[in-house]
A and B are shown apart, each in its own frame.
Chain A
Amino acid sequence: DAEITQSPRHKITETGRQVTLACHQTWNHNNMFWYRQDLGHGLRLIHYSYGVQDTNKGEVSDGYSVSRSNTEDLPLTLESAASSQTSVYFCASGRGSGRHNEQFFGPGTRLTVL
């Protein structure tokens, strides 16, 4: 069955370290998204991609970067982790234009920055 996976599921790191969170989908969806979930803020978009080599900033992109070298993967990198980036991160994918099509979410990665 097609699916979307995230790894690791849990990560503890220290302030200043570089961290990369992986997202992999097997639906062959063009569109992929990274969100963070924090109490009081719901889901907020970090970065998104509408195809290979396409990346775009979302609402809360500072301190994060993504790259899209193939259809299946959209890794999220925290260049220098900060305590404010402690959060639960969700990756999602969707087909078509994105606006009319539902998004499929991964299981989430809980990141703690000490």
Chain B
Amino acid sequence: ILNVEQSPQSLHVQEGDSTNFTCSFPSSNFYALHWYRWETAKSPEALFVMTLNGDEKKKGRISATLNTKEGYSYLYIKGSQPEDSATYLCAFYNNAGNMLTFGGGTRLMVKP
């Protein structure tokens, strides 16, 4: 079983604040790293799939970076809005496995 850690577990910010959180994964046998956004009472939705060391991806105010050599990815949200409140999940694929292993998620709450 692969260990995928996310920190912090939860985060409260004010509207307009920028924030970031971390996903740590085994650096050996890296294949792909997924980020998902999961709103309460809904289903997870894909944000990014990242495969190359140094990858940077952006969707609106949300961006992500990937460091496969040291085994981490950062998710950044610029100018947080209340609608950004959700749990953000990362998930890791390695070379040997055929399945995504999810981290426990970071729960973001943005206060108006």
**Which residues of A come within 8 Å of B, CB atoms?**
33, 35, 40-45, 48, 50, 56, 58-59, 90, 98-108
Contacts and interface: CB of A to CB of B under 8 A. Distances in A.
B62 interface: no
A103 B31 contact: no
B26 interface: no
Contacts of A58: 99
Given A40-B104, A58-B99, A106 B46 contact: no
Contact of A59 (B1, B42, B105): B1
Contacts of B105: 42
Contact of B31 (A44, A99, A104): A99
Interface residues of B, number: 22
Interface of B: 1, 31-32, 34, 42-46, 49, 51, 89, 91, 93, 98-105
Contacts of A108: 43
Nearest to A106: B43
Contacts of B102: 35, 42-44
A50 B31 CA distance: 18
B55 to A, nearest CB: 12
B41 to A, nearest CB: 9
